[in-house]
A and B are shown apart, each in its own frame.
Chain A
Amino acid sequence: MRRFIWIALATLLLTPNSRFLYAEEGKKLKVVTTMPDFADMAREIGGNHVEVESLTKGIEDIHGVPVRPSIVAKLAQADVLIELGLGAEHAWVPALVETSNNQKIQQDHKGIGDIIVSDGVLPREVPQDLSRKEGEQHPQGNPHLNVDPSKGKAMATNIANGLSANAPQYAKDFEANLAKYLEKIAAKEKEWQAAAEKLKGIKCVSYHRDMIYLVEYLGMTTIGEIEPKPGVPPSSSHTAQLIEDMKAQGVKIVIREPQYSEKLPNDIAQKTGAKVAKVAVMVGGHPEAKTWIETVDANIQALLEAAGVK
């Protein structure tokens, strides 16, 4: 019995580990993403060299996705994990990655397969104080930069670089696909900027503090959130204050993210005469928008409609 245990242990430990090697020629790279946004980009860039799956549908709260054992099995099989980073997924991804015991995707770039799309992007609102008085969910700065139309290029480039590092034999294809994709974004950006002209100066509030990048891109301003602090539930006193501020400052738009209840945003809009705009924080938030570009389109359309400047 004892001998059996030792042999079993030795076998487990000494088995050559083929998973450290690069994906072989002709074999598809297995890509797992935390958000549908990155899955869309990975498909655009990876083409038929990749097999992509998103762990979320886009209607979850990225800070609190339910932990399911089946995700562990998916991570264990993955060559690449694409995540937003900046602590956005800390409540669910680290524990699952650790349990998966997949060395390729160990976080903080300890594994070659860990791709962080926010790399090289300067986050806003990096807290000066690590106390959780300022809310519990944005300890490394505001991570919701995937809604920023101008960050598409940086995200796609990080994904392309990461895929190339994991499958150098396809790097040329990835590069070509990236160039095409960047052109697509560049073309779209003209439309988005035209829309921004119409939205410039309009004031809004949102449920969670996840709209700062989008609002800034569009030249709008946000005067507050329905949540008093990121991750802290709305309170009646905070809501009353918000309504007062909105009236005083002439706020026209209440942004409602699909993962939050409609009720409170609707109530607030009714009391202030503002219009509710459904703005997605991830691809999937607008059921008809299947890609990142389409989602940015749908978000801007929703804002144009709510602002009545369409």
Chain B
Amino acid sequence: MTRYRILWAAVLTVGAWARGRAAEEVEPGYRAVLEQLKTLSEKVDAQEKKLEAQDQTIQDQNRKLKEQDNLLSVYKPGGGKIAAGPAGDVLARLQKVEQQSADALKAATRKKPGDLNMAVGASLNTSFRSFDGPNSKAERPAGQDFNMRGAELVFSADVDTFFKTYMVLNGAADAASNDEAVPTVEEAAIYTTSLSHVSVKGGRFFVPFGRLSAFHDDALPFVTRPRVLDTYVGGESAGDGVQVQALIPIKHFFLVTGGIFNKVGAEFPLLHPLDGTDATNSRRNGAELTYALKMLTSFDIGDTHTFELGASTIQVPDQAMRRNLTNIEFTYKWHPTGSPLREKLVWGTELLRNEVHNTFLRDFNVDTDGDGAPDTVATRQNRRWNTGYGGYSYVEYFLSRHWSLGASADLFQPTDPTSSRANTRHTYDQTYSLFTTYKFTEFSLIRFQGSRHEYHDGHSANEFFLQWMVFWGAHTHNFDMR
């Protein structure tokens, strides 16, 4: 096209020069040629426009093709970057906007370093109880009793890349001090998050022993902890110490947890009874520490049946403080997948053997002057083995997400770790209960429980509970608390 342009320019220049020289001298023939050239050039121009239009069409087509290409490449893997499409690429732009908004939402809701670097959860556990047994069998006033069983605060946080931590403060009404509820540190522990296969935990926490012993009160399926656990483990089952938990790296679930603690159970002495009672001046040797070990495995049958089998032990090797508590646990769970009602059944059983070897001082009379009649009181060191067997079994059937019904039996031979009381091997303390729970949501419930107690000394009692609990704030679904 440029060729024609140069030609036309040349012709015009020549023409202008010729006209300028002597227009009147130009012959009519030359004028005709000029005219012809002019029309020719006009034709060329039109042709040129046509070609340009065609060019434009081709370019448009190309751009459209490219747009299609871009549409496909919007979701190009590798970096998740969205290819910037041309202006017409609405879809790509929409997706970009959505991505940016999602990022903005994340940024807006992200915690800043100055924000509270922890999660806080709380729960409240209260009950009304009616107990018709003798006062000596009730830990709180017998008869009618409102009880603030627990006001619990749970703090948890990621410490850094390597550790997580949590703390459980709990205050419960203490009948011995006018129902005052002084918060105590129930658990406070640090554990590793960066080791594979194993997790190491240190601080104060529930010892690896049995199943329900490691449940907080508010996570139990019934109002009161089975009395066998309270008695054999010794009230609180938290201890100060360290534990290592390992998930054996095989296809099958096999969890092993071992720990060493100062002591386990509030009712067990912290120190050797004959080493003295002054904690700061006493020496504790390795044999006087408490060792705990737990193994847990599980089997599934189809999707609906799960069996869990476990065994655990608590040991104090020292002869004078000797303690040997062992447990076998068996849990069966039925959870039909796709049950529209979300029915579920849990049958939990633990069997325990408790052996305590108590050293205690016993007074006896001595005849010092040899007159045949005792005249002085002396003290002698005595030892006694107390061995007992016990266990509990409960079944809870969840009719729906909201309603559940259950029954439990709990019996044990009393073994008192701190006294010289006679071994009551052939008599059992027994409790039989029925309970039903209504969960409004995951965060609130009411529970009714009726229990019948038969004591080894021949007493008996009926007990009724109405319990209500709420949970709020951050909450975690602990693997152990199902």
Query: A259: which of B297, B340, B443 is its contact (CB, 8 Å)?
Result: B340
Q: Is A51 an interface residue (CB 8 A)?
A: no
A134 to B400, CA, bound (A): 21
Contact A96 B75 (CB under 8 A): no
> Provided the pairs A69-B253, A103-B194, A259-B338 are in contact, do residues A161 and B105 lie with their beta carbons within 8 angstroms?
no
Q: Which of B102, B299, B340 counts the most chain A CB atoms within 10 A?
A: B340
> Provided the pairs A2-B286, A132-B441, A136-B442 are in contact, do residues A13 and B195 lie with their beta carbons within 8 angstroms?
yes
> Provided the pairs A69-B308, A70-B298, A259-B340 are in contact, do residues A12 and B198 lie with their beta carbons within 8 angstroms?
yes
Q: How many residues of A contact B (CB 8 A)?
A: 68
Across the interface, which residues of B come within 8 angstroms of A95, CB to CB? 476-479
A65 to B363, CA, bound (A): 61
Closest partner residue, chain B, to A71 (CB atom):
B253
Q: Is A201 an interface residue (CB 8 A)?
A: no
A56 to B244, CA, bound (A): 31
Q: Is A261 an interface residue (CB 8 A)?
A: yes
**Min CB gap A185→B, angstroms:** 10
- Interface residues as binary, B189-203 with A (CB distance below 8 Å gives 1, 0 otherwise): 000011111111000
**Min CB gap A262→B, angstroms:** 7
Closest partner residue, chain A, to B80 (CB atom):
A161
Across the interface, which residues of B come within 8 angstroms of A156, CB to CB? 75
- Interface residues as binary, A110-129 with B (CB distance below 8 Å gives 1, 0 otherwise): 00000000011111001000
Contact A261 B341 (CB under 8 A): yes
Q: Is B132 an interface residue (CB 8 A)?
A: no
Contact B479 A232 (CB under 8 A): no
> Which one of A175-183, A209-217, A241-249, A294-302 is at the B interface?
A175-183
**Min CB gap B207→A, angstroms:** 17
Contact B79 A161 (CB under 8 A): yes
Q: Is A73 an interface residue (CB 8 A)?
A: yes
- Interface residues as binary, B68-84 with A (CB distance below 8 Å gives 1, 0 otherwise): 00001011111110000
Across the interface, which residues of B come within 8 angstroms of A154, CB to CB? 75, 95
Contact A120 B80 (CB under 8 A): yes
A260 to B340, CA, bound (A): 4
Query: A182: which of B72, B198, B247, B299 is its contact (CB, 8 Å)?
Result: B72
Across the interface, which residues of A come within 8 angstroms of B255, CB to CB? 69, 72, 99
Q: Is A193 an interface residue (CB 8 A)?
A: no
Contact A73 B252 (CB under 8 A): yes
A160 to B75, CA, bound (A): 10
- Interface residues as binary, B243-259 with A (CB distance below 8 Å gives 1, 0 otherwise): 01111011111110000
Across the interface, which residues of B come within 8 angstroms of A96, CB to CB? 479
Q: Is B59 an interface residue (CB 8 A)?
A: no
> Provided the pairs A2-B286, A67-B482, A182-B72 are in contact, do residues A101 and B78 lie with their beta carbons within 8 angstroms?
no
Q: Is B333 an interface residue (CB 8 A)?
A: yes
A15 to B198, CA, bound (A): 11
Across the interface, which residues of A come within 8 angstroms of B340, CB to CB? 258-262
> Provided the pairs A66-B333, A161-B80 are in contact, do residues A258 and B286 lie with their beta carbons within 8 angstroms?
no
Across the interface, which residues of B come within 8 angstroms of A120, CB to CB? 80, 98-99, 102-103
Q: Is A309 an interface residue (CB 8 A)?
A: no
Contact A102 B196 (CB under 8 A): yes
Q: Is A76 an interface residue (CB 8 A)?
A: yes
Contact A175 B479 (CB under 8 A): no
> Which one of A36-44, A86-94, A218-226, A268-276 is at the B interface?
A86-94
Closest partner residue, chain B, to A264 (CB atom):
B340
> Provided the pairs A12-B244, A100-B247, A157-B80 are in contact, do residues A126 and B338 lie with their beta carbons within 8 angstroms?
no
Across the interface, which residues of A come within 8 angstroms of B251, CB to CB? 73, 77
A90 to B442, CA, bound (A): 12
A262 to B402, CA, bound (A): 18
Closest partner residue, chain B, to A102 (CB atom):
B196
Q: Is A59 an interface residue (CB 8 A)?
A: yes
Query: A179: which of B72, B338, B401, B442 is its contact (CB, 8 Å)?
Result: B72
Across the interface, which residues of A come within 8 angstroms of B139, CB to CB? none
Q: Which of A76, A126, A164, A178 counts the most chain B CB atoms within 10 A?
A: A76
Q: Is B337 an interface residue (CB 8 A)?
A: yes
**Min CB gap B396→A, angstroms:** 14
Residues of B within 8 A of A (CB): 72, 74-80, 95, 98-99, 101-103, 105, 193-200, 244-247, 249-255, 286, 296-300, 303, 306, 308, 333, 335, 337-338, 340-342, 344, 400-402, 440-443, 472, 476-479, 482
A-B contacts, 5 listed (Cβ < 8 Å): A69-B255, A73-B250, A94-B477, A103-B195, A175-B76
Q: A69-B255, A101-B247 are in contact. List 15 more A-B contacts (CB 8 A).
A: A56-B337, A60-B337, A67-B477, A69-B297, A72-B479, A73-B252, A73-B254, A90-B477, A101-B195, A122-B102, A122-B105, A157-B80, A158-B80, A164-B78, A261-B340
Residues of A within 8 A of B (CB): 2, 9, 12-13, 15, 17, 19-20, 56-57, 59-61, 64, 66-70, 72-73, 76-77, 90-92, 94-96, 98-103, 106, 119-123, 126, 132, 136, 153-154, 156-158, 160-161, 164, 171, 174-175, 178-179, 182-183, 186, 231-233, 258-262
